[in-house]
Structure formats: structure tokens, C-alpha cells
Structure 1
Amino acid sequence: MNITSIKAILLVFVSSTFLSCNGQVKNEQISTENKGTELGESVVQLDNKIWVIFQDSKKNYWFGSNGEGIFYLKGKDLKQITTKNGLADNTIRGVQEDKQGNIFIETANGISKYDGKSVTTLHPIVSAKNNWKLERNDLWFGYNANDVYRYDGESLYELKLPRQNLKKTFGIDTLVSPFNNNNPYSVYKVNKDKDGNIWFGTFVAGAFRYDGQSFIWFGENELSMLPNGVAPGVRSIIQDKDGFFWLSNFISKYKIEPNTLEYEKIKGIEKGEPKYFNSGVSDKNDDLWMTNYRGRVWKYDGKTLSEFEINNEVKDVLLITIYQDNNGIMWLGTANDGVYKSNGKSFEKFKPFD
């Protein structure tokens, strides 16, 4: 099998190459305006549109909605946190926790930080230096950035990915959508692999891997605009037990050669359907779990692709995310029917107070 040639470009990091559009550095870093006096208001149920699920180190759950803020479940106490409590926006796209136990909430209007007492908003530093670094405890955010944010514990930096000749590579005009500010490099997914490298999945500019010194660009057609005009985006990046990387599609998987740092493209799961997944995780056995928007869940153990049932009675479930909690339990977030939780054999609707 041939190693992919020119498309696997090793991009050695040179700071002068990656110039930000804004040369001035913003000194302000954390806004202290609109601090909430309490962590949300008590509610009895979750919103139907849950795009993000996260369990923190204290075993509490966070459920991020698509427009109604974030829901915080501590035992049997469920609270809804919104802009009234200092949240930057009520549309949630990610939740992370740092080593100090602070919670970072990725919204449509910036990054909010909850330190256990109040919610504040981080303001990015935009610098001509384009300060790319990779430290062990860094947090990375893609949504609402241009292209990506890195938080080092003190400051939030806005960074740009290295630009490529997308029209030449893909043979299409990648400025195809009014979404994502017409930026083909808008980051949909950030993921850290087993070796600590950071991966970025973009709107239509393929995928990038950054090891702290250099970039590898994955410029494959199935990672960009499709012939029918659809732009699936690289929304999920997972690594299997054999070290192969799956980039939002079942069509191909990728292996990085350790000596040349080029990538090898290999056939994925040889099956007519499905072709793409929008969310995926690797479980404690390194088996892969993937979902698509039309309500299908698969598990892939390296040999067999198995489909799991979703026990719903009312409507077709539109899946947004799959998440594995601290105990290895799988959860599903949906665009129209709240949250589902695995019982080991199938997925059932989750109700906080049942």
C-alpha cells in the first residue's frame, strides 16, 4: 500500500509563517462583568436539545443545550445556568475541566469559566506571534474561534492553522457557506491522541495534527466538500486499538509513519452504509463507538460493526453526541429528545429524577 504523497505535508513550525490578522495584543484576559450570585436556578427536567454531556471530577454532570444554557446535575439537584448567571451565551458547544477543578463552558459567544463560586468570561489574546505551543495541561477550544483557542491556565490565545491551497487540493471553491464566518478552517473538533498530540477537525479544510513542533495536514476529499455539495466537516476524531485514526468517516482510516511523519490512508469498514459519523469515542477496551445524526449508534471492535437500539416511543431521535462518563457508561445527546443513557444492551431516555 502506497504512502500518500504530497498531500501529507509536514509543516515545520515557523512563527513568522503564522501571522494573525490582528497584530495588537489585547491585555484584558478575564472579564469580571455580569458575575452570577448563584449557580443557576432549580429545574425539574432537561431541555430537549442537549448537544454536550460532561462529567466532572466530582462526579457531577453537565448538560449543554442548544439555546437554553447549561444544566448542572449534582446528585438529585438539577440547576439551569444561563446568561442571567454570567454565562457568555446560552448556546453550548463544549465543557472541559482543568487540573484545579475549574469548569470551562464553550459557548457561541466565548468561553465561560466557573471556579466553584461564580461564572466569568475569558477574552482571547490575539497576537501577531500566533503563539503555538503544546503543554500537557493546556485546554483547547474550537467553537467561535478564528480558528482555535489555547488556554494555558492564565491566558486564552487565539491561533490560526497553517493555510493550504484548498482550491488546488480539493478542486473546489471551499468558501461555500455563510456559516462559520466563511472560514473553511473553522474548527469543529479538537482531540488529543494517546501520545499527547493535538488534532483539529475543520469545516472544509480537512484535518491537522500538531505535535508541539510541526503540523501534518490531512487534505483528503472525503474530509472536505463532497461532490453533491455537502460539507460534512471533520466533527469527530478517534483512535482505535491498533493506532489508526478515524476522521468522521467509515470510508478510510489513517496511520502516521513514525519515521517520515507522512500518513498512510487505508480502507476503513467495507460496507455500503454508513459512510460518516458525527460523534465518536473510544471505550475502556479501545472499541470505537460512533453515531450519526439520523439516530444510529454503532460499536466497532476492529472486526465487527454492531448497531445498538435506541428505545424511544415518540419520534426519530436526532443524535448530536456520544459521551463516555467516568464509569465507562455511554450517553447520547440529541437535537430533539433530550438525553439517552446506555443500560449495557440499548439506550433509554434519561430522566434525572426517575
Structure 2
Amino acid sequence: MKKHYLQSQIYLFLLLIIGVMSCDGQNKTDNQVVTNAIKSAKIIKPQGIYKDAAIGTGMQDKAGNIWFGSNGEGVYRYDGKTFTHFTTKDGLDNNIVYSILEDKTGNIWVGTKTGLNRYVPTTPPSAGGKAFTQIPIIVNRGNNSSLLNGVWSMMQDKKGTIWLGTDEGVYCYNPSTMLGGGSIYFTRFLDDSNIINKDTLKLKAIFSILEDKSGKIWFGACMNEGISRYDGKTLTNIIPYNDIRRVNKIIEDRSGNLLFASSFNGVCRYEPSALLKVGGKAFSKNVFMRKQGYQGNILKDKSGNIWFDENNGLGFYDGTKHKILTEKDGLPTSNMFPILEDKSGNIWFSSIGMGLYKYDEKSFTNFSE
């Protein structure tokens, strides 16, 4: 995919998904590095040039903090009481955030429009009091040059390897492999000559990476390559781009089927078990019969329920019934985007203008100004 096309699509992709306290100085709270980041009781309205900025990604760390990434307003961390706001002033290379990951050692990784950043909770701030450190993607041993490289997706597999889906391809990082001086060493996945790649895949601009229950790695691409799968030896194009087009998110349901949030074909499904049946159809488009339109995200909660954004509300599927929830059902807005489920079972949703809401199975709580 050509890079100028990606840049032109950035705003559309992130637009559709979807009292301030003084600086804290350099101190630690609950073993968290706070530095100069601003704390507030709620998510504040967009302060930058993107007035329709929205939260597009999120995750909860081992300590219980919830991290939210936005398209223009940097990163927010919620500790259960207040939000701490991190931007380029706190070391991020860009305030347009695509992905967030906590690794197995508790470090927080943030992928942005232009690079990769890391937050280490147990380490004092870097020189100048910055909470985040920018991590160059070093592509060759001894080569200290980095790529201006958007990091769209991240995943750490069962073996501990961190996978990055970037503009320039998929890169991997093994935390046990370090360069001299403590530099982080990335390898380009397709540079491994042992990988069988008969479909000559490039794996550029991968918007979602998933490791399924059996350990296979799935890749969802923005353009050209659709859905691909790596089984440990062979990389195979499973669903051609022309059949599914752009894929924004991959999840695995409780039956072992793969669900894909696609931009132009709604929620699609791949059923591996169907391949064992005579005349079985493994791939189905728009399984919830959604009206034509953008499909930004899809979320599976602990009960196995599926949540996804709808044209004028929120999609919900409990394994048997499909419902479209609207403002008549108590939604605070018709434009809602599922972000994550926290450890308490609450579902968090976002909307344009930095809207943020928590649903506790009974009602919605607004966490934005």
C-alpha cells in the first residue's frame, strides 16, 4: 500500500471509530512515574487541531490502570479516580495514537502515527523529566538509523515475542535479545528465510494482529492482502483483499471462529470447522446484516457477547440474538465505539469529541467534559 494513501486515510479511520489540576512535578505515586503529566477528574475536550478527536484504543494494565489512546490528544491513564494526560510534552513522539500494549514485565508500549514509545513504571523519568521514551525501530544489527514508521497494531504472543504491525511491514522484538548498550533490537518478520511465503505477502499496514487459541498468528491488512495466517512455518493468505477489503480488528469468538471488523463488509466471520463439512462455507460477509457503512471495532466480553459499532447505535450479539441498541435503549449517544472490557466487567465506549463512557450492565457513566 502506498504511504500517501495511508496518510490520507488516517483522519477518516480515527474520526469514525470512535477542572484540570496543576503539574505534579517529578514524583512517584503507587509505583507509577507521573512526571509533568496533567491530572484531571474527567477526559477533557479536544485541545488540539482535531476537534473531532476520539479515543480509538485502550487496555487495562496489571495494576488496574486503564490506558486510552486517541487520534490527536495523546494518551490518558485512569487509576479509578483521576485521569493522567500524556502528550508529546511527556515524551510521546506524536499525539495521534494507534495502539497500546502492556508487555509481560509491565512496560507500556504506545504506537503512534510516526513511531513507537515506551513507559516503564518502575524506572525514574528520562533526562528532562519525560515519562515516555521514544524507541527507534532498528532494522539491522549495528545500524542506528530508525524508520519514520506508523505502528498500527501490537501483540505479545505466548512465547513473549512482541509483534508490531507498521507501515513498512511486521516487526518482532524478543525482550531477551538486546543490542550493545541496552538498545532494543527489532527484526523484520519476513526477513526470516525459513518462512514459507508462497503468496509473496508483504504484510504492510497491518491494522490488527491476533494469536488464536492454537498459537497461529493472524494478520488483518489495510489494503491489498486481506487476512493472512502464520502457523509457525507457512504464511498463507486466507481471505483475499477483494473478498473482505480493509480489516480494522480481529477477534476469536468462544467457538473458535475468527471475526473481522471490516470497513466495507460489516462484521465478517471465518469458521475453520466449516472446511471439514461437504460444501461447507468457511467465510461469510456481514454476518449481522449491518447496513452499508464503516465498521470500526469489535469487542468480545468475558461472557462471550460481541459488541460493535453500528451506523446509528451499538451492535450487540449474545451468541443467539443480534440487537441494535440506540438512544431509546439508554445510549448516551448514537455514535459509540467499543474500546475494552475492564477486569470488573465494565465495558468502555468512546465517541467523537473525546467522549468516554463506562457501562456496568445497568447504566452508562460519562467520564468526559
TM over 0.5: yes
**Residue of 23, 29, 40 corresponding to 1:43:** 40
Please, which of 303, 311, 318 is the counterpart of residue 301 of structure 1?
A: 318
Q: Does 1:137 align with 2:178?
A: no
1:203 Cα deviation after fit: 0.9
Query: What corresponds to 2:168 in structure 1?
Result: 146
CA-CA distance at 1:58 after TM superposition: 0.3
Kept after mapping to 1: 8 A contact 2:250/2:261: yes
Please list, as runs of the form range in 1=range in 2, the aligned pairs for 1:151-162 lying within 5 A after superposition: 151-153=173-175, 154=178, 155-160=185-190
> What pairs with 1:279-290 in structure 2 (closer than 5 Å)?
279-290=297-308
The residue correspondences of 1:62-211 to structure 2 (distance < 5 A) are: 62-116=67-121, 117-118=124-125, 119-127=132-140, 136-142=159-165, 144-153=166-175, 154=178, 155-160=185-190, 164=199, 185-204=204-223, 205-211=225-231
**Is contact 1:37-1:85 (8 Å) kept?**
no
- What secondary structure, in the 3-state scheme, does the structure 2 residue paired with 1:235 have? strand
Q: Which amino acid aligns with 1:78?
A: F
Which AA in structure 2 matches 1:97?
A: E
Alignment partner of 1:244 is 2:220 = no
Shift of 1:268: 5.7
- C-alpha change, 1:326 and 1:163, in structure 2 (3 Å) is farther
Indicate conservation of the 8 Å contact 2:137/2:186, yes or no: yes
Distance 1:150 1:193 in 2: 17
Q: Which has the higher contact order (CA 8 A, sep 6+)?
A: 1
**Distance in 2 (alpha carbons) for counterparts of 1:243 and 1:37:** 41
In structure 2, stretches of 5+ residues that fail to align are: 1-32, 46-53, 126-131, 142-155, 179-184, 192-196
For residues 251 and 234 of structure 1, do their structure 2 counterparts lie closer, same or farther at Cα, with a shift above 3 Å needed?
closer
Matched AA of 1:282: K
- CA distance in structure 2 between the partners assigned to 1:237 and 1:156 by the alignment: 24
Greater share of residues in helix = 2
Name which of structure 1's ranges 75-84 and 57-66 shifts more when overlaid on structure 2.
75-84
Cα deviation, residue 96, structure 1: 0.8
Identity rate of aligned residues, in percent?
27
Shift of 1:68: 1.8
Superposition deviation, residue 252 in structure 1: 4.2
Cα shift at 1:102? 0.7
Q: Which residue of 2 aligns with 1:13?
A: none
Instruction: Say yes or no: does 1:222 pair with 2:243.
Output: yes
2:37–2:85 Cα contact (<8 Å) kept: yes
C-alpha distance in structure 1 between counterparts of 2:56 and 2:87, whole Å: 15
Question: What are the residue-to-residue correspondences of 1:10-29 with 2, within 5 Å?
Answer: none
Deviations 1:43-71 (A, max 9, x none): 34314522222211101111212112111
What residue identity is the alignment partner of 2:212?
D
1:254 counterpart = 2:254: no
- Aligned residues: CA RMSD: 3.4
